Structure 1
Amino acid sequence: MPSVLALDPGTHLGYVLVGREFAVGVLTLSEDYRSAVREAVAKLRPLLLKADRVYVEEWGYQGRRLGKEQMIPLALTGAFLALGAEPVPALWKRRMIQGVVLGHTAERLGVKFPSGLDRKDRALWFRLHLEGYGPALARVRQLPRRLRPHALDAFGLAIYARTVAKIEGEGVMPG
């Protein structure tokens, strides 16, 4: 099975490597976008070298002025695209959780959500749990509360991108 590295860009950069090996985590990066890019590439280098495919959540900004909150994800996305990562449209999460009903179903199945997740994140957690990724989700649960959503997004992004790549062939992610 090919290894997939997925990246959720931001000051808290979520990453997951899925395939022959499994690694999940979150890098807390500098608030200067230039330093953040250098740190991210340096720290993720071993995973970038192991991955057969790299996916990064597409990050765009439509506004008059960029604030520093927008510069880091934009710079990271650009850097990873320059290194050969494939962009995944930001709508991936909505598509992945479409039709997932939390309600009492999760309780009846014994799914316990970790703290720090909003409703969309809990729906993504439940979807991944139903697909058999419970043991891997346990690794996300071990992360500090404030970092869990970033790692979970990277994990969901990897599964989504890998699934779409299988369906679409080796082409571009659908927009």
Structure 2
Amino acid sequence: MPLADAPAPDDAIVEDALPTRGELDFRLIELFFFAYREFTGDADSILERYGFGRAHHRILHFVNRDPGMTIAEILDLLEITKQSLSRVLRQLIDDGFIAQVQGTDDRRQRRLYPTQKGRDLTLELSRAQGRRIDAAFRAAALDDPGLVNDFLLEMGADRKATRDWFARKGIGRENR
């Protein structure tokens, strides 16, 4: 029989749930989880029609936001491997959503551009997500999204590539 002060073995079954509020506040963690699921779900249902997934969406999004970006830039921004990018990018190129163009200064460089087909799909995906964001703002009676902007900026700006992206695209603290 174990002593009362002895720690339980690692494989001991735990029957009590972690409290919603205690050492950690699970409310926001779970709100983020479910909000992200619904936010991505809107786009997922559209992507499914094309046989695409979230990786396709991310590449389409950023290539449309920065036409001419290099393979190295998208790898750095998304923090993915060449191998994971290669399969998804190949499909987007083969299906006519993205064009890969040889660099003019460095012929080894590959620049990525959306095609009109890629632009149209990106806008369809973004409009679906924008409708969810707008509806949530209305339902929460948030007339000024500035606080949400600032909060998300703080949540997502740890990495240099992200901070550089924000600076290039004019994404920063809201001036109220």
- TM above 0.5, one fold? no
Give the structure with the larger helix fraction.
Answer: 2
Give the strand-richer structure, 1 or 2.
1
TM-score, length-scaled by structure 1: 0.28
CA radius of gyration, larger in: 2
Task: Say which structure, 1 or 2, has more relative contact order (CA 8 Å, 6+ apart).
Answer: 1
Per the normalisation by structure 2, the TM-score is 0.28
